[in-house]
Amino acid sequence: MSNSAYRISDSTRVLLWVYSVGLAGMMIPYTRDLFILITPINLIFAAAFLFYGTKPGVRVLLFGIFIAVTSFLIEAAGVATGRIFGSYHYGSALGPKLLQTPVIIGLNWFILIYCTNIISRQIWEGVQNRLGSSAGRLMEIIFTVLAASLLMVCYDLLLEPAAMRLDMWSWEDDIVPFINYSSWFFISAGYHLIYRLWGENGINRRALPLFVVQVLFFSVIDLFFLLFY
């Protein structure tokens, strides 16, 4: 196999550089507050990374708006009632708030749903090659929805400790309740089902590197605070 098969694209190199700088900034006590402050800019960068140089389809744009609006309303209801995810409140790291909920939280939901949906479809391609023609549309939808929703929960397991350390949000008694993860799964499953039934089928090759880099970012943050704080 040629070395070109392992070549890292220029856009991924930029992604790695940005997150490496962010990781260093979060670890150094003297710069941590500054890097926490610019967390919303990082979310905007993540969205720009996904679509820079490409033109997202109409369905992607409409679905993005749908997720951004509905997930914001779900989060706002969760903060107000404590019944959807558990009792929690947002800190200052995610920027300006409306209804005690960061305005930008909907963008984060869209990025995660979009990436995990694509990654699960990429996994399905490998599964389908093994199953052959017996793997129909229904099986593809079920697999994609379940796999993508599980990816969302796995991501959240790594995100939660880091989020509390970085003033994104905090939980009552500093305990993440089980309902948070179950709600993440079922809400994500709903979004993924809608996207598979109505959304586009294109594969954005930047989704996987972005998701992997974010997972690594929060994993290192978790390990850093576990070892040194």
- Give the pLDDT of residue 2: 45
Mean pLDDT, rounded, for 56-67 = 94
For CA atoms 210, 213, 217, 219, the dihedral sign is positive
What span, in angstroms and rounded, lies between the C-alpha atoms of 110 and 118? Answer: 12
- Give the pLDDT of residue 135: 66
Q: 123 or 126, which is more confident?
A: 123
pLDDT beyond 60 at 144 = yes
Q: What is the pTM of this model?
A: 0.94
Mean pLDDT, rounded, for 120-142 = 83
pLDDT beyond 50 at 4 = no
Q: Considering the chain, what is the average pLDDT of its residues?
A: 93
**Among 106, 209, 196, residue whose Cα is nearest residue 146:** 196
CB atoms within 10 A of CB 106: 22
Where do runs of H (alpha helix) occur along 85-177? 105-131, 137-165
- Give the pLDDT of residue 134: 62
- Name the least confident of 15-24, 41-50, 54-63, 142-151: 54-63
